Amino acid sequence: MTHPMTAVQQMFLEWCIGYMKFRIADAMSVGLMSLEAERYDALWTMLQKGRYGFLCDDMIETGRRLFPDPPNAPEGSGLDAAYEHVCTALDDWLPSFVIPPGQVSFLPDPELPDDEPAA
């Protein structure tokens, strides 16, 4: 049986969800990812992100401290189990999230070196 989460653990997961929503919306707004993504795991696979997607190292370290591994469990399994809540929340949110096309800009093409012809 799992223990109920503490208030700090719950706030950490809400922080992760909010942070990830922002990073996803930001990436979509500049054309870095599909505007029609429906599942979080497809997004972080497409962007070649690791297990924790956009979370920075400090957030992952905090998560590992807040969600310690059970005895005899693989390293990181405590945070992995908690992170499933984040993935589920993002999967529920993504199909309904829409950036209006007029709010999407695209990153400029990288500048070619002076001695390289354009394609």
Q: Per-domain residue ranges for the chain?
A: 10-100
Q: What is the pLDDT of residues 71-119, one digit of tens each?
A: 999 999 999 999 999 989 988 888 887 777 777 776 566 666 666 655 5
Is the pLDDT at 1 greater than 60, yes or no?
no
CA 66 from chain centre, in angstroms, equals: 19
- Return the higher-pLDDT residue of 2 and 80: 80
Sequence letter at residue 67? F
Q: What is the pLDDT of residues 5-28, one digit of tens each?
A: 999 999 999 999 999 999 888 877
DSSP state of 37: -
The pLDDT value recorded for residue 65 is: 97
Whole-prediction pTM = 0.73
Q: Tell me if 78 sits within 8 A of 2, measured CB to CB.
A: no
Which residues lie below 8 Å from residue 19, measured CB to CB, with a gap of 6+?
Answer: 54, 55, 59
